[in-house]
Structure 1
Amino acid sequence: MRFSPEFLDELRLRTRLTDVVGRKVKLVRKGREHGGLCPFHNEKTPSFTVNDDKGFYHCFGCGAHGDVVKFVMETEGLGFPEAVERLASEAGLALPAHSEQDRAQDDQRKTLHQVMDAAASWFQSQLAGAAGREAREYLARRGLNADAVKAFRLGYAPESRTQLKDALLARKLTEAQLIDTGMLIKPEDGGASFDRFRHRVMFPIADAQGRIVGFGGRALGDAPAKYLNSPETVLFHKGRLLYNMTMARAAARAADRVIVAEGYMDVIAMAQAGLKEAVAPLGTAVTEDQLALLWRMAPEPIFCFDGDAAGLRAAERAMVRALPLLKAGQSLRFVALPKGEDPDTLIRNQGVGAMREMLDAARPLIDVLWDVELARLPTDTPERRAGFKARLRERLSEIADPDVRGFYKEEFDARMRSLWQPKQDFGPSNRFRDGARRPPGKGRGRYDAPIPVSRELLRTPLAQGAGFTNHRRERLILMTVLNHPELLDRYQEEFMAVDLDSDELDKLRAAIIRIAASCHQSDDKLESSTVRNHLYQEGFGRAVQRLEGDKGLVGDLFAKPDATADSAEQGLLSLMQASQLQLLHTELEAAEVDALSDDIDEAERATRRARDLRAQIESLVERLAGVER
């Protein structure tokens, strides 16, 4: 059976290579690749790599190399047609019926691709000519330069019923071809066909192979539709495509992220400003096929929508569509721009730095889901709280992956306990300053207050004094490591395990760890100046400046650059252990609440858990006190 290139491309887009290989090989993520022991020869040291972005596997030991189809053929002993059929069945992709007619259709598609490219070139020529003056002025007002216009092949459709038609027919293209591609409209009453796009700035839309398959047109005058897309054709399926998908893939791999904006101009404005990893759906709510494309580019696409009601609704629709598809390491993040702003206007008004800050502060899906459901109705009565809980349970039921669903449930339960749990008195020496629980910071269910600890811990210098908050502790940890990165040689694992409430500091920590690993690989000396230089080059300059400018950290001498190695080490170790203690106390509180359950088995499990946590807390308090002596 013969399969068209388009069908095989669609199959590869719908099939994640690591999912298929992972059935045979235990894979470990290594940056943008996965590695494991080669299934094609016996080896003890992993030399087998899988790259989802590029769609191939390779073994540096035996030279095995191929795509997902070849892997199934080699490991299952199947022929090419059988391997394709199995993968298509798993992907829910209907097999094409090949015949002479099908082969003729394949040839037709090739011709139609040529028609679309010719149309794009003609629109470009119109933009550059006298007729395109108004369109050029519009693009200039929107801040686009000549390089961006050329890179995205922007064009102009003149205000004429048949100018495109006449031009392409003169090139020996047929009217039927122009109708099949959606470039002409054929009236049902049998009248003469006419150009679909008129008096519009034209945005060519490419498929995964970079071939023009459709257009979006932005009206320059009064028109019923501000934006108009090509209709569904044999080439153009808007729910399976992303604007700028072809050019964004390489940039997404380099940046390890992909940005999803609402419109063409947002994508082009970001690309022009250096954020080339931006794409956009084509005027519709994001589809499952589009999510699959996004997850092939990056594990957590960042959805960046306009800061108005429509933008928020679009973000919610994307979130709901993604819930059934969540997997380990596969989720979404969201940026809500200031009201009245979109990426295009934000970059023009405040610069790309402001846009980068918004992206760095992108919120995880679980936070957005929590906030959306919490904001629907008040939760000031038991009945309304029960309604809120029921809505969360309904959302949880939509998550198919059992592990992801379980962790979401645990997190939601912890947040609800934090939100409504009555205040508790831990004694005069360790009571919260305001005597009451605070709302969870950043939706994580943590308390921005001194941790409730035993008297031994309270005598340590780092825990003394009102105002020693989670916020201050985590910033001190980052400051200490930033000024003394050599400590990562001994405490990288503990540093990675610290739970940070601040998304900005979490990203900064990940960058520091990545830079430290790069220094070790290149034999560069791991010094504070080296780390700072890399952070500034990677766009973390403002985060570093905010950290260093925090006046609340000036009294902690161990975190300063001139602190002795022993002082910095003791300070960092004490801070990280105090952070761990905070988490243990939070878990203990939750276990104590669960121990009151009417379910006897659950109560017994919670009681045992609370007993274990108290032992861990006591042991950690003793170790922490020992560090401070």
Structure 2
Amino acid sequence: MIQKTKIENIIKKYDILKLISSILEVKKSGNSFFTRCPFHEEKTASFYISKKSQRYYCFGCHRAGNIINFIMEYKKCSFLSAIEIISKEKINNKYNKNIKDEPVYKIFNYLNGILIKTTENNITKFIKNRKLNEESITKFKLGIISYHIEKIKNKNIKIFLSKIGILDRNTLKLNKVFKNRLIIPIRNMKGEYIGIGGRTIFNDFKPKYINSPESDIFSKKKIFYGIYEAKKNTNSFIIVEGYFDVIKLHQFGIKNVLAILGTAFSKDHLMFLKSFCKKIIFCFDGDKAGKLASIKTAFMCLPFLFEFEIIKFVIMPQNYDPDSFITLNGKDKFLLLLDKSIFLIDFIFLIMNIKTLNSYFFFKINKILENVENMLVKNFVINYLSNYLYFGLNKIIYNKNVASIFIKACIYLIKKKYLIYKINFDKIFCNKYIFFNKDIRIFLDLCFLIKNNLNLNFSNLNKRLINKIKLKCVNIILLINKMPIDMLENEFLSILKKIESYNLK
């Protein structure tokens, strides 16, 4: 963790006015400095920069902050990345640098050019079947391997190409595993090439995809494909599974899309998104693997429910993926699919197939919540589920402070009066502490009524004790009625043991 003093030193050391002036056209007005806001469209400059306080404020969109906040917002990067950019003094030259002048960029541009000009039948057939246009091929620098790369003399470039897998690490010769594969370059948020994916052009050839090996610059569980192309478009993202999902959605004008790299969505992915994103829509494939990935991702996201404004899931039609769906049905129908996406909690309830209340139901609900440490999230899920099923589940699940054990015992007795025979009154009356709890009188009154009238009608009971038992707990009666007998009896016996051993602590 970065120390607070280091953060303060960075803010003091680097001039926010100098930074913003290197990026935007800043004009002085009296003792103030203004420019057009880079975060929203405007005709009149309303973005104010204070040299004295080293802060900025936009009178239009109300964004405000210090130099670190500006870098995070402008570069769409994480807090740590912003610190790194500033502390390494990469600010001015980084913004003015033309990435197209980089040798590595020229290499991928060269491979891209070979693909565009190729007349090789298998490759052109693959591109045609995928319905990829030349604009998409150029934009994402798709390419094919060429033996001319072995002739590169720059040793550092060769080492880099071996690190990402194009050249063999030992011989620095062309890596043959990428032969007959479409090369898909992978870039980070800064636009730097950090790896590649290779898709076989023959559908019966396995494995279909090969990625760069894990390294200090490439880790599949932390990287999104398409982050460089998507980062400036929005603060909400569609998360898909594959490279071609990203490319095809861009081709149809949907640019706020990222793909995981042939691996499960990870907590690292979630933390990465959390730093600069407010809304997530997961749109995984409609096959069995895609559905399982959606389920796993939903449970992973639940503890972070309040960290995002929206977390939703698209239910893709069977055996479709975003690429094939939008290709066959068009942009409008895909957007309609997004509009029908389901909120995180609703999606979890849907996949759990909650229709009946039984012991397995309680097991599943507790399973959901056992990894949720945030009590706000936990209580929200419970209350939401209560409304979802029109039952007062929150009075039973995680309800230590909702109702006393005496009231809970009353609720069980109200619905299942035969439970009166399970009570050992001698043990209860031997416990002097129970009489310090005001609810014991309600419990004993109810026991007396039931013992003297086992045919007591609940509607009559309403008139006598309902106000004392508290109306908010009565909904549990509906729930208890659905519980299996063995579970109901065990729950009631557990409550009786607590009554018998009740003390003031």
Q: Report the TM-score, using the length of structure 2 for normalisation.
A: 0.58
SS in 2 for 1:286: coil
Is residue 217 of structure 1 aligned with residue 205 of structure 2?
no
Distance 2:225 2:339 in 1: 23
Distance 2:189 2:268 in 1: 13
Distance 1:412 1:272 in 2: 40
Matched letter for residue 397 of structure 1:
E
Distance 1:266 1:66 in 2: 36
Structure 2 equivalent of residue 341 of structure 1 = 320
Distance 1:360 1:335 in 2: 9
The answer to whether the Cα contact below 8 Å between 1:270 and 1:276 also exists between their aligned partners in 2 is yes
Q: 1:345 to 1:414 in 2, by over 3 A?
A: same
The answer to whether the Cα contact below 8 Å between 1:116 and 1:181 also exists between their aligned partners in 2 is no
Q: 1:46 to 1:174 in 2, by over 3 A?
A: closer
Identity of aligned residues (%): 23
TM superposition shift of 1:408: 0.2
Measured against aligned partners, the alpha-carbon deviations of 1:580-619 in whole angstroms (never above 9, x if no partner) come to: xxxxxxxxxxxx99993689599979826599xxxxxxxx
Structure 1 gap segments, 5+ residues each: 3-7, 9-31, 52-56, 59-64, 72-86, 99-110, 421-591, 612-629
- 304, 326, 335: which one pairs with 2:283? 304
Structure 2 equivalent of residue 410 of structure 1 = 383
- 172, 178, 183: which one pairs with 1:202? 183
TM superposition shift of 1:306: 1.4
Q: 1:325 to 1:267 in 2, by over 3 A?
A: same
Structure 2 equivalent of residue 243 of structure 1 = 225
Structure 1 equivalent of residue 272 of structure 2 = 293
Note the 1:83-102 alignment, pairs <5 A: none
TM superposition shift of 1:126: 1.9
Q: 1:336 to 1:168 in 2, by over 3 A?
A: farther
Measured against aligned partners, the alpha-carbon deviations of 1:398-441 in whole angstroms (never above 9, x if no partner) come to: 22322121110112233345599xxxxxxxxxxxxxxxxxxxxx
Note the 1:308-457 alignment, pairs <5 A: 308-374=287-353, 385-417=358-390
Matched letter for residue 289 of structure 2:
A
Q: 1:182 to 1:609 in 2, by over 3 A?
A: same
TM superposition shift of 1:258: 1.1
SS in 1 for 2:195: strand
Measured against aligned partners, the alpha-carbon deviations of 1:529-565 in whole angstroms (never above 9, x if no partner) come to: xxxxxxxxxxxxxxxxxxxxxxxxxxxxxxxxxxxxx
Structure 1 equivalent of residue 445 of structure 2 = none
Q: 1:165 to 1:412 in 2, by over 3 A?
A: same
Structure 2 equivalent of residue 181 of structure 1 = 164
Q: 1:400 to 1:132 in 2, by over 3 A?
A: farther
Is residue 168 of structure 1 aligned with residue 152 of structure 2?
yes
Matched letter for residue 252 of structure 1:
T
TM superposition shift of 1:230: 0.7
TM superposition shift of 1:151: 1.1
Distance 1:311 1:369 in 2: 15
Q: 1:192 to 1:272 in 2, by over 3 A?
A: closer
Is residue 124 of structure 1 aligned with residue 106 of structure 2?
no
Q: Report the TM-score, using the length of structure 1 for normalisation.
A: 0.48
Distance 2:175 2:281 in 1: 40
Distance 1:210 1:604 in 2: 66
Distance 1:296 1:417 in 2: 36
Distance 1:193 1:202 in 2: 13
The answer to whether the Cα contact below 8 Å between 1:185 and 1:196 also exists between their aligned partners in 2 is no
Matched letter for residue 217 of structure 1:
G
Structure 2 equivalent of residue 234 of structure 1 = 216
The answer to whether the Cα contact below 8 Å between 1:197 and 1:217 also exists between their aligned partners in 2 is yes
Distance 1:320 1:334 in 2: 12
Distance 1:605 1:209 in 2: 65
Total equivalences in the alignment: 348
Matched letter for residue 387 of structure 2:
A
Q: 1:136 to 1:48 in 2, by over 3 A?
A: same
Structure 2 equivalent of residue 67 of structure 1 = 68
Matched letter for residue 296 of structure 2:
R
SS in 2 for 1:150: helix
- 136, 140, 143: which one pairs with 1:148? 136
Structure 2 equivalent of residue 455 of structure 1 = none
Structure 2 gap segments, 5+ residues each: 8-38, 41-48, 73-78, 88-98, 394-406, 414-436, 443-465, 475-505
Matched letter for residue 411 of structure 1:
Y
Note the 1:589-604 alignment, pairs <5 A: 596=411
Matched letter for residue 285 of structure 1:
A
Matched letter for residue 370 of structure 2:
S
The alignment yields a C-alpha RMSD, in angstroms, of 4.6
The answer to whether the Cα contact below 8 Å between 1:326 and 1:404 also exists between their aligned partners in 2 is yes
SS in 2 for 1:155: coil
The answer to whether the Cα contact below 8 Å between 2:277 and 2:308 also exists between their aligned partners in 1 is no
Distance 2:185 2:284 in 1: 22
The answer to whether the Cα contact below 8 Å between 1:315 and 1:334 also exists between their aligned partners in 2 is yes
Matched letter for residue 386 of structure 1:
S
TM superposition shift of 1:309: 0.6
The answer to whether the Cα contact below 8 Å between 2:222 and 2:269 also exists between their aligned partners in 1 is yes
Structure 2 equivalent of residue 138 of structure 1 = 126
- 233, 242, 245: which one pairs with 1:263? 242
TM superposition shift of 1:167: 3.9
Structure 2 equivalent of residue 545 of structure 1 = none
Matched letter for residue 110 of structure 2:
W
TM superposition shift of 1:227: 0.8
TM superposition shift of 1:273: 0.8
Q: 1:150 to 1:392 in 2, by over 3 A?
A: same
Is residue 157 of structure 1 aligned with residue 123 of structure 2?
no
SS in 2 for 1:134: helix
TM superposition shift of 1:164: 5.1
Measured against aligned partners, the alpha-carbon deviations of 1:248-282 in whole angstroms (never above 9, x if no partner) come to: 122224xxx31111111111111111111111011
TM superposition shift of 1:213: 0.7
